[in-house]
Chains A and B, each alone.
Chain A
Amino acid sequence: MKAVNSMKIEFQSNSANEGFARSAAAAFAAQLDPTLDELGDIKTAVSEAVTNAIVHAYPDTIGKITLKARLFPNNSLDLTIRDWGRGIDDIDKAREPLYTTGGEDRSGMGFTIMESFTDKLKVKSTPGRGTTVTMHRRFSTRAGRE
């Protein structure tokens, strides 16, 4: 399916950018006239993916993260969060609920939330090369919309 609109932003892996990234994604998704609930889901899912990149991809350095969003004519949205950091050794393990390498500061719920708050989650990673997380989310069609 061909996207009808798209955006891409690049930012440093500073934790202050977690709020920036989820707000930017929500502002872009606003074109779909989402409900408050749907907007909350998008913000939460993006926050989890970006936090993973900041905490796990670049544990001791500041690196590059990109956030891409693509809007489709059937009221759906693709969100892609990419980093060029450490990568994930075992993706299946990383996706398990409560699994974390982040100690007691992290809950291990990141991927579980991304999975439940969107319709589809794809994770591609090469150790030493980086990780790409793609999420797909459909939005409800509401009365009064064109």
Chain B
Amino acid sequence: MKTRAYYKDGLLTIRFDGELDHHSAKPAVRVIEDGIDTHLPKHLILDFKGLSFMDSSGIAVVLKAFRRMNELEGTVSVDNVPAQPQKVLDMAGLGRLIKIAAGVKEA
């Protein structure tokens, strides 16, 4: 999986491409934490558009990002979430903590 960080005007966007599982979670968390510590953003977007698969390891990744941003009094949202990762996020009820936006269904 590829995880890339983009920063502009207080907004840090992390783009996920590929499959997020226990194997790929650690490097992903490193990219997120490095991005937050470097830029101290006001808002963090986890962009899941390219995320083709996620298991419960992804729940822990999102929660970690949420806790870190909470310490900085910043906010987090998860954007462009495809159906399969959405189903896993729903299991953990993460929608109560974080704004989650579904991805546009591709034709």
A interface with B by C-beta (< 8 Å): 15-16, 18-19, 22, 36-37, 40-41, 43-44, 47-48, 51, 54-55, 104-107, 109-110, 112-113, 116-117
Contact = CB atoms under 8 A, between A and B. Distances in A.
Interface of B: 19, 21-23, 25-26, 53, 55-57, 59-60, 63-64, 83-84, 87-88, 91-92
A19 B21 contact: yes
Q: Is the interface of B mostly helix, strand, loop or mixed?
A: helix
Nearest to A115: B91
Nearest to B25: A105
Contacts of B19: 19
Contacts of A117: 87
Contact of A107 (B21, B23, B59): B59
Contact of B22 (A40, A43, A54): A54
A47 B83 contact: no
Contacts, number: 66
B96 to A, nearest CB: 14
26 contacts: A18-B23, A19-B21, A19-B23, A40-B87, A41-B87, A43-B53, A43-B84, A44-B53, A44-B84, A44-B88, A48-B55, A54-B22, A104-B64, A105-B25, A105-B57, A106-B60, A107-B57, A107-B59, A107-B63, A109-B56, A109-B59, A109-B91, A113-B55, A113-B56, A113-B88, A117-B87
A1 B59 CA distance: 37
B60 A104 contact: yes
